[in-house]
A = this chain, B = another copy of it.
């Protein structure tokens, strides 16, 4: 595997093989599979879960990793082409990224969206500028529009809780948050659920529709896999028979990159906080998912998070297992 960048790059069979491998590695550890192998971890955006789960994953497979993060005085990493570097930045990504990559057998890269221009972010301009610099196998640890490690972990979580693929009902719901957040998780989660063949509803207030290209990509995947994608602003309608509600806040796409307008649009949306009354029309055992971190009492009530519906800890642990499968396929020697 040369890159793990987007679930859409993999066939159904390949995804099934990764999920099976993740399960196998959980039951039957392989502590020498990646002996002496190194994963470079380059965080241009902050991380806790991704950092910890990748380090743990490499150790469990007998290899190791090193971390380059924004905490490490690399804030000043320059990325503009053609610049005369007489300011604060002492190093350019054109040197830093290939060098860091050269110390590893693969590299994980995280670079959040700039959230200035939607078209630029949809085109993954920044992330692609980084991966264009290397020929090492790489893993997308969250880019402007993708978070494939989260997607694979979530798919596994749905399997683990026996949520049906075809016929299963998945609600991706916008939630309130004091800050405008990236589109990577909602966009790629929508694709994941559609690709799994589920009936997916995107529940969101006006102004927070996901971009057309993202919706189209999901609809195509759903159509090919026996699922469907719809949108709704009506909570009761959307939640009808739902087996999963996956909550996430994201920034407005109609006011993308405009912080003042965005803040204005959020006013009065504080009630988009998932609570037990949301589940009135849902399936009895409807579960709650979230990629974490999550703000209690803002995105979701404490009662839901601490109650039996929440499977967020199980979901977070699956990050490690999903990544172990990816690393095993990318760096293993054919076992």
Contact = CB atoms under 8 A, between A and B. Distances in A.
Interface core residue of A49, A69, A306 (most chain B CB under 10 Å): A49
Given A86-B295, A298-B86, A313-B102, A63 B71 contact: no
Contacts of A297: 82-86
Given A61-B36, A71-B72, A92 B296 contact: yes
Interface in A69-86: 69, 71-74, 78, 81-86
A184 to B, nearest CB: 16
A220 interface: no
B66 A55 contact: yes
Interface stretch (A93-101, A138-146, A187-195, A209-217): A93-101
A64 B55 CA distance: 9
Nearest to A62: B36
Interface residues on A, range: 35 or more
B52 A59 contact: no
Nearest to A51: B66
B86 A48 contact: no
Contact of A313 (B64, B92, B99): B99
B46 A73 contact: yes
Contacts of A103: 52-53, 56, 317, 320
Contacts of A72: 46, 48, 51, 69, 71
Contacts of A268: none
Contacts of A68: 48, 52
A58 to B, nearest CB: 8
Interface in A220-240: none
A312 interface: yes
A62 B38 CA distance: 10
Interface stretch (A27-35, A159-167, A198-206): A27-35
A40 interface: yes
A100 B52 contact: yes
Interface string A307-335: 00000110011001000000000000000
A302 interface: yes
Contact of A104 (B56, B298, B305, B312): B56
Contacts of A85: 295-298
A276 interface: no
Interface core residue of A56, A92, A320 (most chain B CB under 10 Å): A56
Contact of A38 (B60, B94, B98, B104): B60
11 contacts: A37-B59, A48-B96, A59-B66, A69-B72, A71-B71, A71-B72, A84-B297, A84-B298, A86-B298, A91-B294, A95-B293
Given A36-B62, A48-B74, A91-B293, 12 more contacts: A37-B59, A38-B59, A48-B68, A48-B96, A53-B103, A55-B64, A59-B66, A78-B296, A84-B297, A86-B298, A94-B296, A95-B293
